[in-house]
Chains A and B, each alone.
Chain A
Amino acid sequence: MTNTTLNWASRLMILLASLAAPSVLAAQTGRVTGTVTDTATGQPIISATVSVVGKSNLAAITGADGHYSISGIPEGIVQLSARRIGYAPAERQAVAKAGETQVVHFALRAQAAQLAAVVSVGYGSQNKRDVTGAVSAVTTDALERSPIVSIDQLLQGTSPGVDVTTASSEPGGALTVRIRGTSSITGSAEPLYVIDGFPIENDIDGQSVGNGGRSRTTPANPLASLNPSDIESISILKDASSTAIYGARGANGVVIITTKQGRGTKPAVSIEYSTGSSRVAKTYKVLNAAQYMDYANTYGQGSSQPYLPFPDSTKARILAAGINTDWQDLIFRGGGNRNLQMTVRGATTAASPTRYSLSGGYFTQDGIVVGSGITRMSARVNLTQAIGSRVEIAGSVNASQAKSKSTPTAGQQNSNAGAVSAAIQYVPVLPVRRADGTYSLINPDLNVYSSLLDAPQTPNPVSMTNDVTDSLSDTRILANVYGQVELLDNLRFKVSLGTDYGTRGRNTYYPRTTMRGASSAGDAIRAGSTSSSWLNENILTYTRKFGTAHDLALLGGFTRQRTDFDGNSMENTNFVSDITGYNSIGTGTQAGGPNISSRRSTQTLQSYLARVNYAFRERYFVTGTVRRDGSSRFAANKKYGNFPSVAVAWRASSEPWLQKRDFIDDLKFRVTYGVVGNPSIRPYQSLARLGTNGYSFAGTAVAGYYPTSVANDDLSWESTAQTDLGVDFAFLGRFNFTADYYKKKTTNLLLQVSLPFETGFQSALANRGSVQNAGIELGLEATILKPANRNAPSWRANLNFARNTNKVLDLGGPQQIFADLLTTDYNLPGTLIQVGQPIGVFYGFRSSGVIRDSTAAAAITWKNFSNSTFKPGDMRVEDIDGDGVITLADRTVIGNPIPKFTVGLTNTVSYRGVELTALLQGVYGNKILNINRIRTESSPRVNVSVERYLNAWSLTNPGGTFPRIGENPNQVGTNNFTSNLLEDGSYLRLRALTVSFVLPEALAMRTPLAGARVYLTGNNLFTSTKYVGFDPDVSSQSVGTTNRGIDIGAYPLSRSITMGLNLNF
């Protein structure tokens, strides 16, 4: 240490001392002594601090016998506090008398780092009842209630305003989480996840391994690597006042996850094992072989060139051969899962105790689609070492590896179709394999019956499930170490260093037996990526009570984070044989050589943060937060942004005039306002780029470089200003009611803006446009039956409701922007982003049912597409622009994929150790674009839905809800869809139903067990919906903000039963 630092250090000590040490009174004094013990064991507690509240110089530390003694206490009533890391602090009153010794004993209760009543608020925690912002907490209690495969499932239906949508139900599949609506168009709208203080950069496309021509990409799910059993609590920060401490990353909400820490004194061992099985919850009802042939014949006879693909002789021959393939049955199977978790938690009783929590987990799941599954192994160590009573060093390491195998299911309807898309389409009159053992193909094998059937180039579904290899491996290590020093009684300094290291690899091979592999003589793709993130945080907190009225907590900090990303991808084709699969990718002889790419990026974040919490008489609360974020991703002129917020709260129930109202337990009103950001700019987007461009001189290629994009020196975060009005009301000792109204306006949206052609560029990313979200959230926790004793029946319920309305206010010039074309062979327009509408509405023709008879047809005053006249049995299409004929100009906004409201209801009933928990969850008022139906409700070139066949309009069935056979109900012209394809996505689902039995304590005491519990859980046992597809909780095209609510061969939902056992020692 140099002289200078020594000098600094000594001055620091002087400063701290002068801050914390008021003048000592030299009046008449008394003495207090006593013992501090553990409530559970009765054992003395060493190194506990006992002090006189408000006079930190009057304090003592307990010895090995738990004894303490404080002298020099001025006469009068004093408040004594006893504190010890790992225990809940306790306060007791004493009356100090001059020259006398009073005895005051303390019994402290061991506790985890956080009790249910304490919630994480970012860089600290707070008593729930004192929180000024809109924060939802998922407690340990809820976490332990049912077996949870992933954490995002836990968020589903349990907190108001948190909308979780399944992008894919496949094992390890992605979910999208929206907190208070979508406030970005091109950026990410996913919340920020903070795991044990480490903010996980959730850059969706940055983390994905290159898709390398696969039809499906899987973004890394930041929570997939975390073992749900390790979680102690989850806090969801929703309003700007709470998220402003995360500044530029707070606009989509923040989910704070805290893992289990050591507690108690003796080691507590917990073992959990569960096993379950699952089945596909619902399938498409499509025609069997006989029905299909009848349909094809009816269709053929009614066509403009009448044909009969299956004359009676052919039909009889096929049926006699017993060909009636149920393709869905072939690609689905009974799935299963096994889950083994072991945890040891405890703490040593030394003077400087060590708290520890060790866990290991193994989870494996076979998906319900043949060939899909995941295995995850994880290990976690959390250690906390106290050094004396003022220093704490802690570290945690979480390592996990998930290996999944996937079967291509989603995607296009042509040659890139996945197994599920293909299985719905494949006709029952084809066997799985031809006589020569090769897989049958709908084209050409179906065309044998009539070339007019013209079947699509869709791969054989069984070849996709059985022969395609697509394996994904995710390894992630999250490690964190911190040291915390209580410099003085009220002042703590915490410095932490953490890393998040992840690698992903994805290997895919299409052998010759698959359609794709056949055309390329084997197609191998390998891609890998590595991301590593470092974080350093330095946080100083100062907490002090001034007198009895004023509570002050200050927090200041400086943090830095750096994330590096490396990725590469290669693809080769034309292999000699399929033997080596993707393992010898160099042996492929693709014309022009393999496709190879690599990428690398770095992003950094440097932040200053500060927070003030002030409470007056526990009645009036003010919180002010400001974070200054500097991000490398922001452009040269906008490197730093300031994100302030303020919150005020009033606890009316603590007012003297309300305190006598017995039925009111707590009544608090909250008002918050703040500005937070969304930085989801990919790195380097503000910089100009040069691209390569070839030319040749004298017949030899030469390299060229030219500007491909223009710099934007002002590129910055999307800015969200949010106002929140909330009330928390607890009454009758049984009910906790929370209501919030919020309004968020996001400006400076990141949009691609068109540049004048004369610039030489087409477009550039710029901050233009705005979008608004407003809504209400209601939550009610009710203890309907409060048990008089532990054997009495109890009934608790948790109900939540949220409604959000989303509106695009401005797009920086244009009135509408289309999302990317939907990737089907139809080139359907993507969802529409239009000023005045919610983000991503569906755009198409409005159809309004089948024309029943000639009277109804005659009543239509306009012509159909291509100037034809509407006939009975046609689908009626509305002439929106009123020009007397259906043209492309008659397309309009026909539906919204965003629900009008979401609800969740959890009921827990228990009696004598038997507990029943049911989670009902639902959404209402959204539309789903079911693209699967374009094919299955039209011509017999693929199989057709039963409903479309049996309920088709005909002269004998004029009430049919589908147009006559031969008409496509879902399309007008080509590459467009009608509102007929939109379905009501509302549903109410029994997500989980658990019956558990807890071994009575009296019985447990006779065993080595501290406790035991067995349970049986059913997931997705029941869904009430009008949606005809596999699952209304679907978004197979996108986890982004546009093209949501679309179903093309999504991995279907499964229904599962799981049996489990928990043992605690």
Chain B
Amino acid sequence: MKLLERFATGDLEAFEALFRQHQKEVYAWIVRIVRDTGIAEDLTVETFWRIHKHRSQFRPDGNFLAWARRIGTNAALDHLRHARPESELPDNLPCASTGDPALGSERRRQIKEAFHQLPAKYRLVATLALIEEEPYANIAQAVGISESLVKVRLFRAVRMLRKKLNSLRPEVTTK
């Protein structure tokens, strides 16, 4: 019996093999969304726990990593939805070193603040598409929506962000 078939029937050794095979990819995907290594580790374990829980729903001829990534994305989205505002904006959030030096630290802080006020589903898509520059097709597959909807969410996220920043400092991006 193949590994995925054994996993679907509840074989713990098969699950361990799949876990060891894919934990790095799942973690790498989640950490790009939540941007915190400790939380990403916990969510990786949570993701595989959900995978184990719903193993009977997995089709052994399917793509395990794509399925795992989708479950991981949902776990990360749950985290973004429920995380308290003060924990959503870590102090060590990296800033782009290659950025425009004219963009002052106060402006960066405003942008980060506005970004973290976006609804979770928009922030998820904006993080992956704009910051991580992930192709729309990958985002669509991981979130479980169409590429068109990814573009729509991205468009709305940028509009919301612009609106929030305009309210903070109208003279910068007003028409």
A binds B: no
